[in-house]
Structure 1
Amino acid sequence: MFEVGDNIIYPMHGAGVIKGIEEKEIQGVTQKYYVIQIPMNNMQLLIPTSQATSRIRMVADDLSLGLVLEVFHYGESDRTLTWKERYKMNSDKMKTGKLQEGAEVVRDLTRMQNEKKLSSNEKRMLENARIIFVGELSLIRGITEGQAADLLKI
């Protein structure tokens, strides 16, 4: 179970903080919900506590981040995929909410953008993935988002 004040990651939305736990009746069903504030979008979400473990995760630790950054900077990118295959694979990675998967999306699309123009869908995906990755990195390291973005220069 998560507690008020925990830093979490919600897939496709990014880093957030559990602001409260409330009991609410929605469509005739009363249950407990986590109240999650997502600063990236200035959004507040209600997630049923019964579904939280499959939908949100704790922010990664610094050791895990170190390993992810190593793969981010030095890992290989698959350049043999078609646009459609690459987009599907990257979408699936982003839906997992895993730090490593999101980092790979940022790495691969950034490298590709440095070589050629990305489609508008891939540009949007890169921007969202970068915001999510930078948000988690800044929470883990206790630095500003600007400083975190500097760590991702490829």
Structure 2
Amino acid sequence: MAKKKYDYSPNDFVVYPAHGVGKIVSIETQEVAGFELEMFVIAFEKDKMTLKVPTNKAEEVGMRSLASADVVADCMKTLKGKAKVKKAMWSRRAQEYEQKINSGDLIAIAEVVRDLHRADDQREQSYSERQLYEAALERLTREFAAVGNGNETDAGNEITDTLQSRASAA
């Protein structure tokens, strides 16, 4: 039987919308309800989680390659922008932020980080605001690190410095 060609191969980093950056460990065949199903086996080391995604559903569920350097540069521009906070009720905004984080869209995630970032002299964040901010920041940091040199600390510092320079320029 000829090997099929996939968009991804083992050791590739991919982004799964609901979980962020993972690494394809293998492509395996599994029998499900009497059918042979090929699966990408994706490891999310930080979360100590493994996910199996049918190869024919990868695109449908929004799995994608890491962002390009251009997209990362656009994210940095987004982070430098002015925070856009709608006047809607928090529950509605929180829902929108959650959707952006789980969309897997790096620019949308950068918008959440930008909009929820608080400088030291600003009012305190609520617990749920802080949770969303940290989730978005973690997703952004992991992908920046995977695209760049692989160092999450450096990626995190770069993002934080960008946010702080924006705050001090305001």
Question: Same fold per TM (> 0.5)?
Answer: yes
Q: 2:11 is matched with which residue?
A: 5
CA distance in 2, matches of 1:22, 1:119: 44
Q: Which has the larger radius of gyration?
A: 2
Query: What's the offset of the Cα at 1:140?
Result: 1.1
State the SS of the aligned residue for 1:115. Answer: coil
State the SS of the aligned residue for 1:80. Answer: coil
CA distance in 1, matches of 2:119, 2:16: 26
Does residue 106 (structure 1) correspond to residue 113 (structure 2)? The answer is yes
Q: For each residue in 1:36-78, what CA deviation from the matched residue of structure 2 results, as whole angstroms up to 9, or x when unmatched?
A: 0112212111011111012211000111111111111224422
Q: TM-score with structure 1 length normalisation?
A: 0.90
Match for residue 50 of structure 1 among 47, 56, 64: 56
* Aligned length in residues: 154
Q: 1:118 is matched with which residue?
A: 125
Q: 2:39 is matched with which residue?
A: 33
Unaligned runs of 5+ in 2: 1-6, 164-170
Structure having the higher helix fraction is 1
Q: 2:140 is matched with which residue?
A: 133
Over aligned residues, Cα RMSD in angstroms? 1.9
Runs of 4+ in 1 over 4 A off after TM superposition: none
Unaligned runs of 5+ in 1: none
- Seq. identity, %: 26
Change in Cα spacing, 1:70 to 1:22, as seen in structure 2 (3 Å) is same
CA distance in 1, matches of 2:83, 2:126: 21
Query: What's the offset of the Cα at 1:146?
Result: 0.7
Aligned residue identity for 2:45: P
